[in-house]
């Protein structure tokens, strides 16, 4: 029996979708447990390249069930678009189960996301603008609309009547925006509900039954721990509660914490961040350009899957990574995009934060402190030979092996899997995770 959680160790975009796609072979169920279509996963397999925001990466594997758990915020229009994209390319989507308890992103959520960001001006968070934050606010404010309501047009109409008045007052009164029309929304969302009805089910039971039958359940994280509402770089974080810590995974599909048997942290071999907020190891030089545009011609550069924004780039931050490892109780690391570092003269890892003449080994809580730290770097020699065709740890260049060993020591956790390219087979299994 095992429930395995795959979590992003940095600011998202670590390559979780790719790792889940690789591990999914051994799983029966693959479930998303948090966030919404702010997430973006790129998966490249023998069927081509896919960008998914809501549907778990397990969908490409026949006879696996894909679950969108209660912890996810679902934009029905986006979900229907993804289903279309997959169906039109011959992928069987009948094994998707959408939780009745999941929250629905409504038009006012997208509008409020936009208006609130504009209102923040220079202090904007740099959200993906998908309405995910306002949707989670309403979940907690007990004003949310759930999938169970969406797919029953009478319940939907009732809920829209209950909540739209207050939403319109906020939109017009607080932000000076234009009110939304109830009839239009009931009409459009009623149609979405009808189209999604056949996918809706008891997602919690699907996860639990598979687990009790002794099958592997993979819980696919979205974003990264440094964007976590509690443990991230608040307020420059996302709004799922808690989006990325491993106990949030149990909550987001409806199982107990003791059901989780393994927690895998996915880290890039360097760091990226989209959106605003502190990033101690951020680079602004030619190295940043080089890392960002590596593989750009194949659509593999560091540009956001959801928004297309260029990602900010920096060296691997072991102080932040240690924080992630502790917060999530990581037992295993998947290190991605090692090949992007190929050919660099030297590679740096941040092992401390300098602040006011002291060296910190922990991430400071105060935003102003985190914004003013100076990274303390350890320099390691780079390697000349390409790694993208390597499949055995021992066949990696010696400098690459030293880099990986150093990451293990700094994080106090074994690196069990390394990815050296976007294709499913471009991976080095150091030690089998499942």
Task: Report the candidate in 232, 201, 225 with the shortest Cα–Cα distance to residue 34.
Answer: 225
- The answer to whether the beta carbons of residues 311 and 359 sit under 8 Å apart is no
Instruction: Catalog residues that contact ligand IMP under the rule CB under 6 A.
Output: 11-13, 38-40, 125-128, 130, 132-133, 222-223, 227, 238-239, 274-275
**Eight-state DSSP code of residue 423:** B
State which residue, 236 or 383, has the beta carbon closest to ligand IMP.
236
User: Binding segment for Mg ion among 10-18, 71-79, 141-149, 395-403 (CB under 5 A)?
Assistant: 10-18
State which residue, 194 or 309, has the beta carbon closest to Mg ion.
309
Nearest position to ligand IMP, beta carbon: 275
Residues 288-307 that bind Mg ion (CB under 5 A): 305
Task: Report the candidate in 188, 230, 422 with the shortest Cα–Cα distance to residue 324.
Answer: 230
Task: Say if residue 76 is exposed, middle or buried (CB neighbours under 10 Å; 0-12, 13-18, 19+).
Answer: buried
CA distance 375 to 425: 35
- Which residues, in sequence order, are bridge partners of residue 271? 314
Residue 244: CB minimum distance to Mg ion, A: 13
N- to C-terminal Cα separation, the chain = 11
- For 157-169, the DSSP string reads HHHHHHHHHHHHH
Angle between the N-to-C axes of helices 398-411 and 318-328, in degrees from 0 to 180, rounded to the nearest 10? 50
Residues 192-231 that bind Mg ion (CB under 5 A): none
Residue 137: CB minimum distance to ligand IMP, A: 10
Cβ neighbors of 278 (< 8 A, separation 6 or more) are: 233, 236, 367, 370, 371
Residue 278: CB minimum distance to ligand IMP, A: 11
The CA-CA-CA angle for residues 295, 298, 300, to 5°, reads 55
Q: Catalytic site residue 13?
A: yes
Q: Catalytic site residue 294?
A: no
328 binds, among Mg ion, ligand IMP, none (CB under 5 to 8 A by kind): none
CA distance 369 to 392: 42
State which residue, 143 or 401, has the beta carbon closest to ligand IMP.
143
User: Binding segment for Mg ion among 7-15, 74-82, 170-178, 183-191 (CB under 5 A)?
Assistant: 7-15
Among 9, 40, 69, 280, binds Mg ion (CB under 5 A): 40
User: Binding segment for Mg ion among 6-14, 82-90, 316-324, 417-425 (CB under 5 A)?
Assistant: 6-14
133 binds, among ligand IMP, Mg ion, none (CB under 5 to 8 A by kind): ligand IMP
Residue 244: CB minimum distance to ligand IMP, A: 10
Q: Does 21 bind Mg ion (CB under 5 A)?
A: no
Cβ neighbors of 148 (< 8 A, separation 6 or more) are: 100, 101, 155, 200
Judged by CB under 5 A, how many residues of this single chain contact Mg ion? 3
State which residue, 5 or 156, has the beta carbon closest to ligand IMP.
5
274 binds, among ligand IMP, Mg ion, none (CB under 5 to 8 A by kind): ligand IMP
* Number of alpha carbons in the 13 Å side-chain half-sphere of residue 181: 4
Catalytic residue among 13, 113, 149, 317: 13
State which residue, 59 or 160, has the beta carbon closest to ligand IMP.
59
Catalytic residue among 21, 41, 113, 323: 41
CA distance 174 to 237: 23
CA distance 411 to 391: 23
Binding site for Mg ion (CB under 5 A): 13, 40, 305
List residues with catalytic annotation.
13, 41
């Amino acid at each position: 029996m095992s429930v395995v959680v795959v979590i992003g160790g940095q600011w998202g975009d670590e390559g979780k979708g790719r790792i889940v796609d690789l591990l999914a072979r051994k799983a029966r169920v693959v479930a998303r447990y948090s966030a919404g279509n702010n997430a973006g996963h790129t998966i490249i397999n023998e069927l081509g390249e896919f960008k998914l925001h809501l549907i778990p990466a397990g969908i490409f594997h026949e006879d696996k069930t894909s679950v969108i758990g209660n912890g996810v915020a679902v934009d029905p229009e986006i979900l229907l678009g993804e289903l279309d994209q997959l169906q039109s390319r011959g992928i069987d989507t009948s094994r998707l189960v959408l939780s009745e308890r999941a929250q629905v992103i409504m038009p006012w959520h997208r509008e409020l996301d936009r208006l609130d960001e504009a209102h923040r001006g220079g202090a904007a968070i740099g959200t993906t603008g998908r309405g995910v934050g306002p949707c989670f606010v309403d979940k907690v404010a007990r004003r949310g609309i759930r999938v169970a309501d969406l797919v029953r047009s009478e319940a939907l109409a009732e809920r829209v009547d209950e909540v739209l008045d207050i939403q319109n007052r906020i939109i017009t009164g607080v932000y000076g925006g234009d009110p939304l029309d109830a009839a239009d929304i009931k009409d459009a969302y009623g149609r979405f509900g009808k189209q999604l009805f056949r996918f809706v089910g008891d997602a919690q039971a699907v996860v639990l039954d598979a687990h009790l039958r002794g099958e592997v359940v993979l819980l696919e994280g979205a974003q990264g721990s440094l964007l976590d509402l509690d443990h991230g770089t608040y307020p420059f974080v996302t709004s799922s509660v808690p989006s990325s810590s491993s106990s949030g995974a149990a909550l987001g599909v409806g199982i107990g914490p003791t059901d989780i048997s393994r927690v895998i942290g996915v880290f890039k071999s360097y760091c990226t961040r989209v959106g605003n907020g502190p990033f101690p190891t951020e680079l602004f030089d030619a190295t940043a350009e080089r890392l960002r545009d590596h593989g750009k011609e194949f659509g593999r550069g560091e540009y956001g899957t959801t928004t297309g924004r260029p990602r900010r780039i920096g060296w691997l931050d072991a102080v932040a990574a240690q924080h992630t490892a502790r917060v999530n109780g990581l037992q295993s690391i998947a290190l991605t995009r090692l090949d992007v570092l190929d050919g660099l003269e030297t590679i740096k890892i941040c092992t401390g934060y300098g602040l006011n003449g002291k060296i910190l080994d922990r991430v400071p809580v105060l935003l102003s402190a985190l914004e003013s730290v100076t990274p303390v770097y350890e320099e390691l020699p780079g390697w000349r030979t390409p790694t993208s065709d390597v499949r055995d740890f021992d066949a990696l260049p010696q400098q690459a092996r030293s880099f990986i060993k150093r990451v293990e020591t700094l994080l106090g956790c074994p690196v069990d899997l390394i990815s050296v390219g976007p294709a499913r087979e471009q991976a080095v299994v150091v030690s089998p995770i499942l």
